[in-house]
Amino acid sequence: MTRGRADARAPNLDEPVVVRDVVKRFGDTVALDGVSMAVRRAEIFGFIGPDGAGKTTLFRILTTLLVPDAGEARVLGMDVVRDLWQIRPRLGYMPGRFSLYPDLSVIENLTFFASVFGTTVDAARDVIAPIYSQIERFHDRRAAALSGGMKQKLALCCALVHRPDVLFLDEPTTGVDAVSRREFWELLGQLKASGLTIVVSTPYMDEAGRCDRVALVQRGRILELDAPGVIGSRYRHPLVAVRGGDRQRVLTALREFPHAVSAFPFGETIHYADARSGSDPAAIARELDVWLAQRGLDGARAEAAQAGIEDVFMDLMETPRPQAAA
Amino acid sequence: MTLPPNDEPAIRVRDLARRFGGFIAVRGISFEVARGEVFGFLGANGAGKTTAIKMLTGLLLPTSGEARVAGYDVYRETESIRRHIGYMSQRFSLYEDLTVRENIELYGGIYGLSDERIAKRSTELIARLGLHDVRDTLVGSIPLGWKQKLAFSVAVIHDPAIVFLDEPTSGVDPITRRQFWEMIYTAASKGTTVFVTTHYMDEAEYCDRVSIMVEGTIAALGTPNDLKSRYGAATIEDVFVRLARPAA
Amino acid sequence: MRRAPGSAARGPLVAFMVKEVQHILRDRQTLTILILMPLLQVVLFGYALRTDIQDIRVAVVDPTPDYATLALRNRLGATDRFRLVQVLPDASRLETLFRRNEADVGVEVAPRFGTRLARGEPADIQIVADASDPNGGTTMAAYVNAVIDDFAGQMGASGGAVHIALDTRMRFNPTLASVNLFVPGLIALVITLVSALMTAISLSREKERGTLESLLVSPLRPWQIIVGKVLPYLGLGLTIVLLVLAAAWGVFRVPFRGSLALLLGEALLYTLVSLALGVLIAARTSTQRSAMLAALVGTMMPSALLSGMIFPIASMPAWLRPVTYIVPARWFIIIARGVMLEGVGLVNLWIETGVLVLMTLVLLVAAVRSFDARLA
């Protein structure tokens, strides 16, 4: 039975994770530069940003592995510095590199992590069943011999085996193929539906849509924080998608357009941002059609587009611009 | 040095297979990559991509089938293949404890460039990448995006006929990712063939043609638009998921 | 599907040790090397010491030649293995012969040897070996000893007793390495290898793989991680020690005169010192490679070179000698030699044991404290 666990849960804790003005430095490098945010109960909260944005450092602070230089962080109402031994049994953590023992089998890995938390695999059967059923037929295989997607699922099982109240997943989908990624997010959706609070980080912008709310992070700062759809609607420029034509030539032509802010390839299209805020993107698209046709790029078609997370991120991020030689 | 000795395609593969004991990693794949083409090589984890790339770069002997890379045979002429290709992996091949300039000089030296040529290329590269101020900084302490561009430049320092890029953009920010693809295009426009793997499905759209490997075979091959219309899908990701899901 | 009655949770510590044992057993290559290497060393070293040596050059010091000494000289000269190179009137020139490498063994016969024998008084013969080549020296001395023994038996039957003193210490290598002296040193090395080196590598491997992060966020306390890591290696180390002892006795009859329990107890103490060193090293290094190098240079090298195992401490330069006091292996080797070869008990070894106990306490505390509950 897990009654003790239920009693220990703070009543109506609406924000299981709260971070206030957290700063963390490593020597001269500022990994976290004043981060504040809160995660709501039973939501999937995503930290979206490239490597080096500070995601792993923040996760390590939240999982009591690092102490912040300034600010405070609370998990399940407890302080991550002072209350580490109360917090640890109640959080699940999947570090960036899948934390598995390659020379142990699937079931041995799982049994080990269960025992470390003083429980058994059987006791967690109902929680891990949807995931474990997908790897159960390999239960005798050593973890080293699993494919990336299978390792990812086993690591998730190991992080869940002690029935944590909040789950931290640091880049669980990095290096994993698109299919396995999709399946993984579906599993997270099921876990969330069972009431688990999930904090996840990813460098893949297209995964933002899988989260209830996201924080865009770069260089230790939160650039934007909200539901993915809301963030997209806050894009500051009229946005036009251009399709067809010779990609390089179209890009060059768009960047030469007098009102251009930026033009970047986006899958099969090119996203063009215009400096005239408030203008109708459809009208701008018509201007661009003419502009491109004048340059002999008849094959290209422009149309108004809806900005996504990646557009917003690229607009808000600081570009690391190396100094060109004089 | 860029061009293969005769007029054949950059890569020609016929019925290439590789078996590990009882496990068949690659079961007879065939395709061609034209010179100057940007060829996307997609597939699920464990579909056989890595094995195929190892055979094409001369690191692993095929069990059967033929493959010619830059005009050289993968069975007998692996030395020549290695001299005519460049390779950059997801974890980069740069030495973190050497400076930017030392890395460039090292790779120039490895590929047998003359001292004079190395000095010239090194100055050229540092200027083009805007790394002048950090030329004597250890590579380990420069930002990931720069490192990645440097790794690419170093992989093509000897003007190879073909460059193999294995998940080159993993984990970098979206702007750097796009700048990286512009470098790829520049290289391709100069005649270098680019063979690239990626988990970013939007990047598949940037390739001239893509192939999708499923369980050791090539399940689909064509231009991104071809594939989307053939499978009635809106994006390459949808095509990918449709092909790979039964396998997962 | 609640917890089934039969599947009670294994204690975290037990689970940890089970996992550790699995790691050890599954890395067959390392395990094979760990077990075979010390055994091979015993065998190789043992046989190297027992190789036959031909053409031993003997110098006899015979101040007062008489019937008995002549008989001895004849006996030595008649043996194929020996060549009588010089007969000297007194021992003063013996040193010169050794230094010029003109003789291997000296046989010093006491003055009035024959007369003493005839009167039934004790008569002394001293065998002096050139111990600059320790292996050869002892072997040669042993051969000469055997011949004189035989001779003494015959002489003794006809009157007085012959006293033979085998003196190899006075020459250039005071603590002669022999298989007997080597085995205690080997035991120290095995323990250092398995405890310090293997623990350091295995802990830093968890760091490198990222599994340490998962262990740290669990309710496991740092001391539990250390104990769980260390106990299986302790068991492995003691097992190999027993194997080495068995091999040394079985193949070469290396004596074991003292108490096995005492030796194992002391070995346990020394293992704890080494394990603590291993943990300290792993805490201070971030990769397996640097942990391995640090353990080799920091524990293996001093244990081999500064412990008196190979090079006698007495012959080290004065400035180096004090350094050996902080090498745990130095103390353990004294203990092990004492217990094995001399059969002494704890009464005579309490100083060395005390030093090890002190080292254990200090290092264990340092090891647990170095191992933070968080990432550095």
Beta bridge partners of A215: A47, A225
Residues of B in contact with A178 (CB under 8 A): 44, 199, 201, 237, 240-241, 244
Residues A45 and A98 sit within 8 Å (Cβ to Cβ): no
- Per the model's pLDDT, the better-predicted residue between C174 and A156 turns out to be A156
Task: Output the pLDDT for position A319.
Answer: 64
Whether C9 maps to a domain, the answer reads no
Per-residue pLDDT of chain A (326 residues; tens, 9 = 90+): 343 444 444 445 889 999 999 999 999 889 999 999 999 999 999 999 988 899 999 999 999 999 999 999 999 999 999 999 999 999 999 998 778 999 999 999 999 999 999 899 999 898 899 899 989 999 999 999 888 888 999 999 999 999 999 999 999 988 888 888 888 999 999 999 999 999 999 999 889 999 999 999 999 999 999 999 999 999 989 999 999 888 888 999 999 999 999 999 988 899 999 999 889 999 999 999 999 999 998 889 999 999 999 999 999 987 655 443 33
- Report the CATH number at residue C151: 3.40.1710.10
Inter-chain contact A103–C209, Cβ cutoff 8 Å?
no
Task: Output the pLDDT for position C159.
Answer: 53
Per domain, the residue ranges of chain A are 3-232, 235-316
Classify strands A29-39 and A197-202 as parallel, antiparallel or unpaired.
unpaired
Whether B6 maps to a domain, the answer reads no
Task: Output the pLDDT for position C86.
Answer: 85
Tokens of A216: 């865009």
Mutate to test the interface with B, among A177, A186, A218, A315 (most CBs of B within 10 A): A177
Minimum distance, in Å, between the CA of residue B133 and any CA atom of chain A: 7
Name the amino acid, one letter, at B91. R
Residues of A in contact with B185 (CB under 8 A): 247-248
Residue-wise pLDDT tens digits, C75-115: 888 777 788 888 888 888 887 887 777 887 888 888 888 88
Residues C208 and C255 sit within 8 Å (Cβ to Cβ): no
Task: Output the pLDDT for position B91.
Answer: 67
Residues of B in contact with A245 (CB under 8 A): none
Nearest CA to A148 out of B195, B28, B248 is that of: B248
- Report the CATH number at residue B187: 3.40.50.300
Minimum distance, in Å, between the CA of residue C203 and any CA atom of chain A: 13
For residue A267, the SS3 value is coil
Whether residue C66 is found in the same domain as residue C41: no
* DSSP assignment letter at B7: S
Whether residue C206 is found in the same domain as residue C66: no
In chain B, the number of structural domains is 1
Residues in Cβ contact with B182 at an 8 Å cutoff, skipping those fewer than 6 apart: none
Residues A213 and A230 sit within 8 Å (Cβ to Cβ): no
Residues of B in contact with A52 (CB under 8 A): 143-144
Residues of B in contact with A323 (CB under 8 A): 130, 132-133
- Name the helix (H) or strand (E) containing C304: helix C301-305
Inter-chain contact A148–B45, Cβ cutoff 8 Å?
yes
Residue-wise pLDDT tens digits, C199-218: 999 999 988 888 888 888 88
Whether residue C323 is found in the same domain as residue C190: yes
Residues of B in contact with A203 (CB under 8 A): 170-172
Task: Output the pLDDT for position A165.
Answer: 94
Whether B3 maps to a domain, the answer reads no
Whether residue C220 is found in the same domain as residue C280: yes
Closest by Cβ to A65, choosing from C22, C23, C375: C375
Dihedral of CA atoms C92, C93, C98, C101 in degrees, nearest 10, equals 170
Closest by Cβ to A99, choosing from C4, C210, C219: C210
Whether residue C237 is found in the same domain as residue C352: yes
Residue with tokens 């059987």: A122
Closest by Cβ to A65, choosing from C22, C27, C213: C213
- Per the model's pLDDT, the better-predicted residue between B97 and C155 turns out to be B97
Whether residue C135 is found in the same domain as residue C237: no
Residue with tokens 């599994």: C211
**Range C160-185 average pLDDT:** 58
Task: Output the pLDDT for position C3.
Answer: 40
Q: Which of residues 201-220 of B touch A (CB under 8 A)?
A: 201-202, 205-206
**Measured between alpha carbons, how far is C104 from C130 in angstroms, rounded to an integer?**
6
Inter-chain contact A265–B181, Cβ cutoff 8 Å?
yes
Whether residue C207 is found in the same domain as residue C229: yes
**Measured between alpha carbons, how far is B10 from A159 in angstroms, rounded to an integer?**
46
Q: How confident is the model at residue C251 (pLDDT cuts 50, 70, 90)?
A: confident
Residues A87 and A64 sit within 8 Å (Cβ to Cβ): yes
Whether C142 maps to a domain, the answer reads yes
Whether residue C189 is found in the same domain as residue C259: yes
**Range C280-302 average pLDDT:** 89
Whether C314 maps to a domain, the answer reads yes
Whether residue C329 is found in the same domain as residue C186: yes
Chains C and B touch (3+ CB pairs under 8 A): no
The percent of residues above 70 in pLDDT, for chain C, comes to 85
Residues C277 and C299 sit within 8 Å (Cβ to Cβ): yes
**Range C320-348 average pLDDT:** 89
Whether B2 maps to a domain, the answer reads no
Domain range for B118 is 11-247
**Range C123-152 average pLDDT:** 71
Concatenated DSSP letters for C281-306? HHHH-SSHHHHHHHHIIIIIHHHHHS
Chain-wide mean pLDDT for chain C? 81
Domain final position from C167, C194, C227: C167
ipTM of the complex: 0.81
Concatenated DSSP letters for A162-174? T--SEEEESSTTT
Residue-wise pLDDT tens digits, C304-323: 888 887 777 777 888 988 99
**Range C154-161 average pLDDT:** 60
- Per the model's pLDDT, the better-predicted residue between C66 and C359 turns out to be C359
**Measured between alpha carbons, how far is B104 from B135 in angstroms, rounded to an integer?**
10
Domain range for C328 is 14-47+177-370
**Measured between alpha carbons, how far is B243 from C225 in angstroms, rounded to an integer?**
46
Classify strands B72-73 and B85-88 as parallel, antiparallel or unpaired.
unpaired
Residues present in chain A in total: 326
Whether B5 maps to a domain, the answer reads no
Q: In what order do the strands lie in the sheet with A70-75?
A: A29-39, A17-26, A70-75, A78-79
Inter-chain contact A93–C217, Cβ cutoff 8 Å?
yes
**A193 Cβ under 8 Å from any chain B Cβ:** no
Residues A276 and A246 sit within 8 Å (Cβ to Cβ): no
* DSSP assignment letter at C128: E
Residue-wise pLDDT tens digits, C107-136: 888 888 888 877 777 778 888 876 555 556
**Measured between alpha carbons, how far is A216 from A222 in angstroms, rounded to an integer?**
6
Nearest CA to C278 out of C375, C366, C374 is that of: C366
Whether C2 maps to a domain, the answer reads no
Closest by Cβ to C210, choosing from A91, A97, A118: A97
Residues C368 and C226 sit within 8 Å (Cβ to Cβ): yes
Classify strands A17-26 and A70-75 as parallel, antiparallel or unpaired.
antiparallel
Name the amino acid, one letter, at A153. K
Whether B116 maps to a domain, the answer reads yes
Three-class SS string for B64-81? EEEEEECCEECCCCHHHH
Inter-chain contact A103–C26, Cβ cutoff 8 Å?
yes
Whether residue C207 is found in the same domain as residue C327: yes
* Residue spans of chain B under pLDDT 50: 1-2, 4, 247-248
**B143 Cβ under 8 Å from any chain A Cβ:** yes
**A314 Cβ under 8 Å from any chain B Cβ:** yes
Instruction: For the domain made up of A3-232, give the CATH fold.
Output: Rossmann fold (3.40.50)
Reported as half-sphere exposure (CB side, CA atoms, 13 A), residue C340 has a value of 29
Binding partners of B (≥3 Cβ pairs within 8 A): A
Task: Output the pLDDT for position A299.
Answer: 87
Tokens of B184: 């790829």
In chain C, the number of structural domains is 2
pTM score, two decimals?
0.79
Q: Does domain A235-316 have CATH number 3.30.70.100?
A: yes
Closest by Cβ to A180, choosing from B45, B174, B200: B45
Domain final position from C167, C188, C219: C167
Residue-wise pLDDT tens digits, B201-210: 889 999 999 9
Residues C262 and C270 sit within 8 Å (Cβ to Cβ): no
Binding partners of C (≥3 Cβ pairs within 8 A): A
